[in-house]
Amino acid sequence: MRLRSLLFVPGDSPRKFAKGAASGADGLIFDLEDSVAPAQKAEARNIVSGWLDNRDPAASFSHWVRINPFETGLALGDLAAVVRPGLDGIVLPKAGTAEVVQLGHCLDALEARAGLAAGSVKILVVATETPAAVLNLSGYCAPHPRLVALTWGAEDLSAALGSMDNKHEDGSWLPVFGLARSLCLLAACAADVAPLDTLYADFRDSEGLARNCRAARREGFTGRIAIHPDQIAVINAAFSPSAEEIAEAQRVIAAFAAAPDAGTVGIDGRMYDIPHLKRAERVLAGLAQG
């Protein structure tokens, strides 16, 4: 399952489902939480479950649902409506590791009811939306077996902290939000799951999005959440290796394969060691996911 680009679509807007499906995203996140008004929650469940029931078997993207947080009392109803054939994963908001375990238990029962293979529904956590969640990110060092990715969010954390803003005037993150972002990256890598950067709010700024994605990839993020179909092509390009990167990775792997007992190899006058080999393997593993 490739998680390079995941596009949010409001759960009560079938028109946007169709646009999302044509966007080229690796996954669609059908949202039952923030983008759906309270009066529309029940209808959104019905719409999303209907889409899953009629999922195109030839669709190249994965199907995710962001449920409401457990604390709202709505999560169990969301899960009962959407855990069915066609669902690939649940996006869990405002959560820590305890809620991940709770969700896992719910999925165990609901998968059995729906006739799904045990463990088939995966979990992606929005892991930094409360102060407690940020402080407990180290809990992901012992990952849940369903967990496949962590992402982070600044808006809900801003509200929880009472922050007036979350960015400097130049667009860079204020320290506490930069810390949350860095800790999310570290927690995801410690858990050996995909670290996904948060959304880029200005969906009209393609150049800014591209720069921001390239910087995130250099840091170690492997994909990004999107809020508009026009962002998908930019995200996919930024988080895909270039032809030069692929060629270099192939040379590094071939050089180590030719010298299986070596800890370092020389290529064109430059020395490469085991961390370079691991990086090269990750580049080609990403291609295989696609």
As a whole number, mean pLDDT of residues 74-92 equals 98
288 pLDDT exceeds 80?
no
Would you list the domain boundaries of the chain? 5-238, 243-289
Q: Name residue 123's beta-bridge partners.
A: 90, 147
Domain 5-238: give its CATH superfamily: Phosphoenolpyruvate-binding domains (3.20.20.60)
Q: Convert the pLDDT of each residue in 124-147 to its tens digit.
A: 999 999 999 999 999 999 889 999
> How far, in whole angstroms, is CA 113 from its chain's centroid?
27
As a whole number, mean pLDDT of residues 248-277 equals 86
Q: Which helix (H) or strand (E) holds 226?
A: strand 223-226
> Considering only CA atoms, which of 89, 93, 85, 88 is closest in space to residue 115?
85
**Alpha carbon distances (Å) from 200 to 152, 182, 240:** 12, 16, 18
Both tokens of 199, joined, read: 């959304």
For the chain, report the end-to-end CA distance as a whole number of angstroms: 8
CA distance 29 to 8: 5
**Alpha carbon distances (Å) from 90 to 165, 250, 252, 287:** 29, 35, 37, 24
pTM given for the model: 0.91
Q: Convert the pLDDT of each residue in 202-234 to its tens digit.
A: 999 999 999 999 999 999 999 999 999 999 999
CA distance 142 to 138: 9
Judge contact between 134 and 128, C-beta under 8 A.
Answer: yes
30 pLDDT exceeds 80?
yes
CA distance 254 to 10: 46
CA distance 277 to 69: 41
Judge contact between 147 and 100, C-beta under 8 A.
Answer: yes
Helix, strand, or coil (residue 35): coil
User: 């993207």: which residue's tokens?
Assistant: 61
CA distance 236 to 113: 36
What is residue 268's predicted lDDT score, i.e. its pLDDT? 85
Judge contact between 21 and 46, C-beta under 8 A.
Answer: no
**Number of Cβ within a 10 Å radius of residue 255:** 18
As a whole number, mean pLDDT of residues 184-199 equals 97
